[in-house]
């Protein structure tokens, strides 16, 4: 156990990269101003935004120990590195600007680290009652056992060792010093960071109670573009760590190919066409029933079916797109993502 882990009052640096989202940042800062645990600073890194959040940050100057830094746009990974270099805390917490947290979030983290210390943790995400039906449907899809979202926020999952994600991640100063921060700015930067930390011997853990309300996208078109990017990112992770590409990561592609092949079977072998429709119908029914049970809303449950298909198709198409590119490129190529626009 490190010396810092024995302290009863750890100093946290909450690092938040921001890109054209001042309104969302304001809501997150309001949550931070209500924290029951007070020993923390907030480090805002404006990543080349055209719509700046400096006025929002100034409005919280009397309520939070808050610091604002502006840099040229280079992506969220490098923006977080910028924050690491300027943070004064013993322990860093990374949050996306589109997150909301409960007042006891930091208290939960502090209590867990004082009883069972780890240098690297992650927390799950969920939806908030104020979210729109589409946001709730997307949140369901991204956390459901009936999609690959079911492996997110789990202590043990089919994807291997738990890799904290940067939308809700904590790490000790020692982890940052040993890893040097994020290796890439986009294209799977958080998973690459977690892998690097784990291979240095640091242990990761899920803190289930340290959840965030994650707004995500508000329209299916934007959600599709984001998941397509995630599928591409999985291939990019394999550029750095080939052994981290697991069978489970091909499931969205196999699902996409399977669904798209159903009409073709009508002309090749008709019984397979009806069998495919039967399996698809069972899957849709299970999605609807499970979403209805969890969300208590028929509207959200119906939208969750669409969200699941958008998620799996988007990820599968991005996966095969980047995978095909990988087949023909120089095998020494490593994509940092700094020159790639993150989908809005």
- Which two three-digit tokens encode residue 40? 């923390």
Q: Which residues contact 278 (CB under 8 A, 6 or more apart)?
A: none
Question: What would the mean pLDDT of 241-255 be, rounded to a whole number?
Answer: 94
Question: What would the mean pLDDT of 152-177 be, rounded to a whole number?
Answer: 78
Per the listing, tokens 């949140």 go with: 139
Question: What would the mean pLDDT of 171-177 be, rounded to a whole number?
Answer: 97
What is the per-residue burial (b if ≥16 Cβ within 10 Å, else e) of 113-149?
Answer: beeebbbbbbbbbbbeeebeebbbbbbbbbbbebbbb
What is the length of the chain?
A: 344
d(CA 322, CA 287): 28
Q: What pLDDT is stored for residue 160 in this prediction?
A: 55
CB 43 within 8 A of CB 148: no
Q: What pLDDT is stored for residue 8 in this prediction?
A: 55
Measured in whole angstroms, the distance separating CA 126 from the mean position of its chain's CA atoms is 11
Report the mean per-residue pLDDT for the chain: 92
Answer whether residue 156 shows pLDDT above 90. no
Residue 80, classed as helix, strand or coil, is helix
Exposed / middle / buried, residue 334 (Cβ in 10 Å: 0-12, 13-18, 19+): exposed
d(CA 168, CA 150): 17
Report DSSP state, residue 125: E
What count of Cα atoms within 13 Å lies in the side-chain half-sphere of residue 168? 26
Q: Which residues contact 89 (CB under 8 A, 6 or more apart)?
A: 10, 11, 12, 13, 40, 41, 173
Total-model pTM: 0.91
Phi, psi for 286 (deg, rounded to 5): -65, -40
Q: What pLDDT is stored for residue 343 in this prediction?
A: 80
Question: What would the mean pLDDT of 324-341 be, rounded to a whole number?
Answer: 91
The tens digit of pLDDT for each residue in 79-110 reads 999 999 999 999 999 999 999 999 999 999 99
d(CA 300, CA 310): 15
The tens digit of pLDDT for each residue in 301-328 reads 999 999 999 999 999 999 999 999 999 9
d(CA 318, CA 108): 37
d(CA 87, CA 81): 10
The tens digit of pLDDT for each residue in 66-83 reads 999 999 999 999 999 999
Per the listing, tokens 């959200």 go with: 300
Q: What pLDDT is stored for residue 341 in this prediction?
A: 81
Question: What would the mean pLDDT of 126-132 be, rounded to a whole number?
Answer: 93
d(CA 216, CA 199): 30
Q: pLDDT-derived band of residue 162, with 50, 70 and 90 as boundaries? A: confident
The tens digit of pLDDT for each residue in 35-76 reads 999 999 999 999 999 999 999 999 999 999 999 999 999 999
The rounded percent of the chain whose pLDDT value lies above 90 is 88
Candidates 313, 276, 314, 307; CA nearest to 291 is 307
CB 15 within 8 A of CB 87: yes
CB 48 within 8 A of CB 76: no
Candidates 201, 200, 187, 194; CA nearest to 171 is 194
Answer whether residue 269 shows pLDDT above 80. yes
- Which two three-digit tokens encode residue 325? 């590119």
d(CA 277, CA 255): 13
CB 16 within 8 A of CB 95: yes
Say which residue, 158 or 64, is predicted with more confidence. 64
Neighbours of 77 (CB within 10 A): 25
Answer whether residue 253 shows pLDDT above 90. yes
């Amino acid at each position: 156990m490190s010396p810092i882990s024995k302290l009863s009052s750890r100093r946290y640096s909450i690092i938040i990269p921001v890109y054209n989202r001042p309104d969302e940042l304001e809501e997150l800062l309001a949550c931070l101003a209500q924290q029951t645990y007070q020993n923390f600073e907030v480090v805002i890194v404006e990543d080349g935004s055209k719509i700046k959040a400096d006025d929002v940050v100034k409005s919280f100057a009397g309520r939070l120990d808050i610091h604002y830094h502006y840099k040229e746009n280079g992506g969220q990974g490098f923006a977080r590195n910028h924050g690491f270099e300027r943070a004064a805390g013993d322990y860093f917490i990374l949050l996306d600007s589109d997150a909301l947290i409960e007042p006891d979030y930091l208290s939960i983290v502090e209590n867990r680290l004082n009883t069972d210390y780890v240098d690297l943790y992650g927390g799950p995400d969920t939806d908030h009652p104020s979210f729109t039906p589409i946001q709730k449907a997307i949140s369901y899809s991204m956390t459901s056992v009936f999609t690959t979202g079911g492996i997110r926020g789990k202590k043990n999952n089919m994807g291997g060792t738990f890799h904290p994600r940067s939308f809700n991640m904590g790490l000790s100063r020692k982890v940052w010093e040993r890893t040097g921060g994020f290796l890439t700015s986009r294209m799977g930067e958080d998973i690459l960071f977690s892998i690097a930390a784990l291979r240095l011997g640091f242990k990761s853990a899920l803190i289930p109670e340290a959840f965030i309300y994650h707004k995500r996208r508000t329209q299916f078109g934007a959600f599709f573009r984001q998941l397509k990017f995630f599928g591409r990112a999985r291939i990019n992770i394999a550029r750095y760590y080939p052994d981290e590409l697991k069978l489970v990561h091909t499931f969205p592609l196999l699902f996409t190919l399977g669904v798209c092949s159903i009409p073709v079977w009508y002309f090749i072998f008709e019984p397979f066409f009806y069998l495919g429709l039967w399996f698809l119908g069972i899957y849709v029914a299970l999605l609807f029933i499970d979403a209805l049970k969890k969300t208590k809303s028929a509207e959200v449950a119906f939208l969750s079916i669409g969200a699941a298909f958008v998620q799996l198709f988007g990820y599968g198409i991005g996966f095969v797109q980047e995978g095909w590119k990988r087949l023909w490129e120089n095998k020494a190529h490593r994509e940092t993502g700094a020159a790639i626009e993150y989908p809005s």
